[in-house]
Structure 1
Amino acid sequence: MDRLDAIRLFVRVVEKGSFSAAAREAGIGQSAASKQVAALEARLGAQLLQRTSRSMAVTELGQTVYDAALRLVDDFSAIESLVGQGQSKPSGLVRLSVAPVFGRLYVVPHLPAFFAAYPDISVEMAATDRHINLIEDGFDLAIRHGNLSDSSMTARLLAKSFFVTVATPVYFARHGVPQAPRDLIDHACIGFTSRQDIRPWTYARGVTHHPQGPFRTSDAEQGRAALLAHLGIAHMPAWIVAPEIASGALQMVLQDHAVETTPINAVYPSRRHLPIKTRLLIDFLATTLARDLAVPGHGIATEIGPLG
């Protein structure tokens, strides 16, 4: 293993928080990883990591070396990517974290076209609503919904999806169509829960409705199924039900009172050069979202984010 590989291994040990995890990723044994980092320390004449039988910590000097090493690794990766773009087709595995419903509706159906365009790129998709740690868990990219709180990540806005209030035509035929948010008090409202709290519905001019009804859920797929079973009215991001709105299976109401939006972002580690394989997947998703989230004739003003 050359010096650059040893530096890369040291960076991954710091980011993973353990020799064993970094060794597994590099495809070597834990003892070999420990020896490589020890050899790097000997060459630099400084202790970078404090090791005990149960824990590992980065020394103050080790943190300084890590910051410099990160820039070095990023710069070399950028050189490799630039050279690779000129000499070979984009290739490699992109590990993507995505919410289950979003992946099913907006990622998986388009993968055949993506693979046709880039046959040497493969995608591994983890479907989870949990906000995983991209660096620690070894992911290249995540698609996240709502406002972002992790400032250590770089985010690219893909789209802003308006919230819509919807139910089936069957439900409205049975119970009537609300003309204003205040009318919702007379309807069965499907609530979405977060930490056991039911999320309020927000409308223009500061109007808030607290939904009441026989069914509530924390899962968007279940909420969509409840709508299609005529259980009530729901208020949710348009992307979840855009196909059903386009087909007429669901009908939007209270559009003149709509105001709330939710951003859809591609998120990736901020201190990492963005590989061409990952950038291509982000560009592809931005393009397909622009088409998928447009619902002609139904007034969903979904805004697509910049592609740069």
Structure 2
Amino acid sequence: MSAMNEIQVLTAFVRALEVGSFSAVGREIGISQSTVSKQIAMLEASLGVQLFARTTRRLNPTPEALQLHEHVRQLLDALETIKSNSRTREAAPQGMLRLTAPTSFGRERIIPLLPEFLGQYPRITVDVVLTDRVVDLIEEGFELAIRAGNLPSSSMIARSLGLIERIVVGTPAYFSKHGTPETPAELVSHNALIYTATATPTRWEFESEHGRQVVEVDGTIRSNDLDSLYDLVLTGAGIAAVPDWLAAADIAAGRLRSVLADYYLIPLSVNIVYSQTRFLTHRARCFIDFTTQALKRSRSSIA
């Protein structure tokens, strides 16, 4: 087998694990499904291990496949970097960029940037997964992730995108019925809708001229989906701490009220992260630089 064929086999393996379908891989790299299947079988025979348990619905990677994937992905990234560096500086970045972002932030702040980004880099395609779950970039085949909140110690390299300012909101009808809190301490008597995709979901920290105040809130509904909680706030089900840009239109229209004007919640940092064990492709670098600059232009909304 030639070196180029070996690279294609390894590429087919990596993408099969990441997308879970031989046919999808075939369409992506321009070969038939049967060819992909044969390449994977040939790789399995060469290694002497089974890499996938085939079912009618999905390919299920074996533990050996998951272990192999990390090393092969690093190799392919290294080859991509070498190829990119060998091109002229004017060479356009290309290929599929896979990234993940929190659902609400991604929908409001990242997705709207894509037309301009792809207009500048027409040879790049983007696969965006919006989820409030913290994904494993290596295992799930992502180059980049956007994350809000304090980052735990890890092998991730982070670049700051700014801060998310948050406010406490509820409907006028809710506050008319339950009273308007004047201090953070009064929040304990309110029904707080808890967003669980943060490090300390029930611990709300405020700053003011009176110093920092910390309150443990509680309520009847918890969820890892911010947009769902926000929809519940609009029904009058309770109060929530949400990004200011998410509630701005509803506050202006009188559907929501922001409270505790003399206090402000500690902002959440927003970072774009990638694994230090992977070579960063040209397309990923372009996206990081573009997004950083684009969000700086809207600094009044995010930071």
Q: Same fold (TM over 0.5)?
A: yes
Q: CA deviation at 1:87?
A: 4.7
Q: What RMSD in Å do the two structures reach over aligned CA positions? A: 4.2
Is residue 200 from structure 1 mapped to residue 232 from structure 2 by the alignment? no
For the pair 1:181 / 2:181, whether they are aligned, the reply is no
For 2:297 and 2:251, the matched residues in 1 are separated by: 15
User: How far apart in 1 are the matches of 2:281 and 2:14?
Assistant: 21
Give the structure 1 partner of residue 49 of structure 2. Answer: 51
TM-score, normalised to structure 1, is 0.69
The question of whether the paired residues in 2 share the 8 Å contact of 1:50 and 1:56 is answered with no
Aligned to 1:263: 269
User: For 1:267 and 1:73, how far apart are their aligned partners in 2?
Assistant: 19
Mapped partners of 2:155, 2:8: distance in 1: 20
The answer on whether the counterparts of 1:9 and 1:37 sit within 8 Å (CA) in structure 2 is: no
- Greater shift in the superposed pair: 267-276 or 174-183: 174-183
Contact 1:96–1:126 (CA under 8 A) maintained in structure 2: yes
The code of the aligned residue for 1:118 comes to Y
Match of 2:168 in 1: 165
Query: Residue 292 and residue 171 in structure 1: after superposition, are their counterparts in 2 closer, same or farther (change >3 A)?
Result: farther
Deviates more, 1:216-225 or 1:198-207: 198-207
Q: Give the 3-state SS of the residue equivalent to 2:89 in structure 1.
A: helix
Instruction: Find the partner of 1:32 among 36, 39, 44.
Output: 39
Q: CA deviation at 1:129?
A: 2.3
Once the two structures are TM-superposed, the CA of residue 212 in structure 1 deviates from its matched residue by 4.1
CA-CA distance at 1:16 after TM superposition: 8.6
1:114-167 CA-to-partner distances (Å, cap 9, x unmatched) read 222222222111222223332232222221222333623322221222332223
Residue 306 (structure 1) aligns with:
none
Q: Deviations over 1:232-259 (max 9, x none)?
A: 3212344544555577754433354335
Task: Specify the alignment match of 1:95 in structure 2.
Answer: 98
Amino acid at match of 1:104: R
Q: 247, 254, 265: which is aligned to 2:260?
A: 254
Post-superposition shift, 1:220? 0.5
Q: Mind listing any 5+ residue stretches in structure 1 that lack a counterpart? A: 40-48, 296-301, 304-308
Instruction: Name the counterpart of 1:230.
Output: 236
Q: Secondary structure at the match of 1:201?
A: strand
Identity value in percent: 31
SS in 2 for 1:267: strand
Q: TM-score, normalised by structure 2?
A: 0.70
- 1:273 — aligned with what? 279
Distance 1:225 1:85 in 2: 50
**What's the CA shift for 1:229?**
2.6
Alignment of 1:99-248 (within 5 A): 99-149=102-152, 151-169=154-172, 171-172=174-175, 175-193=178-196, 199-204=202-207, 207-213=213-219, 215-238=221-244, 240-241=246-247, 244=250
Match of 1:43 in 2: none
Q: Which residue of 2 aligns with 1:298?
A: none
Structure 2: state its 5+ residue gaps. 54-61
Deviates more, 1:239-248 or 1:279-288: 239-248
Q: Deviations over 1:181-238 (max 9, x none)?
A: 122244343233469x962322345633333445444321122112223333212344
Q: Tell me the SS of whatever aligns to 2:169.
A: strand
Give the conservation status (yes or no) of the 8 Å contact 2:190–2:219. Answer: yes
Tell me what 2:57 maps to. none
C-alpha displacement of 1:9: 5.7
2:59 matched to which residue of 1?
none
- 2:101 and 2:114 map into 1 onto residues whose CA distance is 14
In 1, are the aligned partners of 2:205 and 2:215 still within 8 Å (CA)? yes
Q: Is the 8 A contact 2:132 2:225 kept in 1?
A: no
The 8 Å contact of residues 98 and 127 in structure 2, kept in 1 or not, is answered as yes
Alpha-carbon distance, 1:180 to partner: 1.0
**Contact between 2:202 and 2:218, CA under 8 Å: does it hold in 1?**
no
Alpha-carbon shift at residue 279 of structure 1 (Å): 1.8
